[in-house]
Amino acid sequence: MTNEINWGDLTPELFLKEYWQKKPLLIKNALPGFQGSIDANELAGLAMEQEIESRIISKQPDNKWQVSHGPFDDFEQFGEQNWTLLVQAVNNWSRETDQLISLVNFIPRWRVDDVMVSFSTPNGGVGAHLDQYDVFIIQGEGKRRWQVGLPDSSLETLLPHPDLKQVSDFTPVIDEVTEAGDLLYIPPNHPHKGVALENALNFSIGFQAPSSQDLWSAFADKLIDNNRGEFRFADKNRQVTAEPEILSNDDVKSLTDFMLNEVNDSTFFPLFIGQYLTQSHHTLELLIPMEPFTNEQVKGFTEDNSIEFLPVSGIKSLISHTPSSNLFINGDVFQLEEETLELGKILASSQPLTMEQAKSFMGCLKNNQLLTTVLNKGYWYID
């Protein structure tokens, strides 16, 4: 499976300049030969699992919409047309699906949320809607007609079902049939509608776009968890006022600065944001060993060239150098030093670590300890 987009006349730089969060784009045959990273039967199997979020959206003969939530026992009741199965975070359970994220490596990995996969029968879809985040939709097997419009404040929000939000009809600027290997980019708040013309698979790389409310709420929780922000507002240089009923501009600024003190903390906020951005929004298959590995055991594993170290599929990792170098994995933080930085970069890239690579790091105890720790937390495993 290719790990690069066939951009044609575009480049990643031009895409970011001209299209990213500005206007939609369809690239025909962007992934030549691509049929999918998982087939419909495998996707149905995932939808039968309790810990995996799935739903089926169907349109009834009376034009009413129905939403059913997984796990599912079987799919016969839905018939052979007019329905779509959507499974969230398939990349957490399918390594091949997780590798699709490398297609957008020109964007920082922390911006990526997950890869949702949908299977649609003929005439299946979820109706016209819009998302508040960017998405790349890769067509697998089958064909689908896509219509994409521009942001329009006059669109009405429709609720044909309590669990389904749609929008009223829109004027498309893209109206095309996608086939295997085609790639559709849709910016936030652009209405779109996809209808399958035959049994079809779609792979949607969705991006993480936290709201200010999300960040402030999580940051407040972090302050509480760390017993920070408990000190009180002070104004020892207060001057006499002739208008006690007035909240002055100076006081507003002082209170604003007071609230921002913790956000502007060059140590605390980078730790918070690194942990926040790497926390998975969906269940991960963590592989915690029955008995913790010792440093000696891990070093010994590197003598067997038939095995390799692998990251858990879908794990979120990143490195921040502010104010010091730290590796973040799934909300945990590991301080990096000069000796461990190279290994940290490999772990953050979520790429397999061969025994040859691992062996080269084992001469340093700190590298040995770092690898042992991530194995014991179940973030990486031995295959």
Residue 126 has pLDDT above 70, yes or no: yes
Find, among 333, 318, 325, 319, the residue nearest to 377 by Cα: 333
Same domain? For 158 and 301 the reply is no
Residue 166 has pLDDT above 80, yes or no: yes
Provide the domain limits for residue 92. 12-207
- The edge-to-edge listing of strands for the beta sheet with 192-196 is 172-178, 144-149, 192-196
Same domain? For 33 and 130 the reply is yes
Same domain? For 184 and 227 the reply is no
Specify the number of domains making up the chain: 3
Q: How far apart are CA 335 and CA 167, in angstroms?
A: 47
Same domain? For 167 and 231 the reply is no
Residue ending a domain, among 207, 228, 250, is 207
Residue 122's alpha-carbon distances to 28, 59, 143, 350, in angstroms, are: 21, 11, 9, 37
Residue ending a domain, among 207, 235, 251, is 207
Residue 310 has pLDDT above 80, yes or no: yes
Q: What is the pTM of this model?
A: 0.93
Which tens digits make up the pLDDT trace of 90-104? 999 999 999 999 999
Asked if residue 3 belongs to a domain, the reply is: no
pLDDT band (50, 70, 90) for residue 21: very high
Same domain? For 67 and 131 the reply is yes
pLDDT band (50, 70, 90) for residue 45: very high
Residue 78 has pLDDT above 70, yes or no: yes
Asked if residue 6 belongs to a domain, the reply is: no
Same domain? For 223 and 320 the reply is no
Q: How far apart are CA 319 and CA 314, in angstroms?
A: 17
* Bond preceding residue 323 cis, omega within 30 of 0: yes
Asked if residue 282 belongs to a domain, the reply is: no
Same domain? For 20 and 149 the reply is yes
Asked if residue 120 belongs to a domain, the reply is: yes
pLDDT the model gives residue 330: 97
* Bond preceding residue 12 cis, omega within 30 of 0: no
pLDDT the model gives residue 61: 84
Residue 111 DSSP label: G
Same domain? For 188 and 246 the reply is no
pLDDT band (50, 70, 90) for residue 1: low
Asked if residue 121 belongs to a domain, the reply is: yes
Asked if residue 350 belongs to a domain, the reply is: yes
Q: How far apart are CA 21 and CA 187, in angstroms?
A: 5
Same domain? For 106 and 183 the reply is yes
Residue 288's alpha-carbon distances to 1, 90, 329, 376, 378, in angstroms, are: 30, 20, 14, 6, 4
Q: How far apart are CA 35 and CA 223, in angstroms?
A: 47
Q: How far apart are CA 16 and CA 351, in angstroms?
A: 25
CATH number where 98 lies: 2.60.120.650
Strand partners of residue 61: none
Asked if residue 309 belongs to a domain, the reply is: yes
Same domain? For 34 and 139 the reply is yes
Q: How far apart are CA 108 and CA 285, in angstroms?
A: 24
Which tens digits make up the pLDDT trace of 324-377? 999 999 999 999 999 999 999 999 999 899 888 999 999 999 999 999 999 999
Same domain? For 226 and 188 the reply is no
Residue 2 has pLDDT above 70, yes or no: no
Residue 3 has pLDDT above 80, yes or no: no
Q: Find the mean pLDDT for residues 206-232.
A: 95
pLDDT the model gives residue 249: 96
Residue ending a domain, among 207, 227, 247, is 207
Same domain? For 222 and 353 the reply is no
The alpha carbons of the chain give a radius of gyration, in whole angstroms, of 25
Asked if residue 255 belongs to a domain, the reply is: yes
CATH number where 313 lies: 3.40.366.30
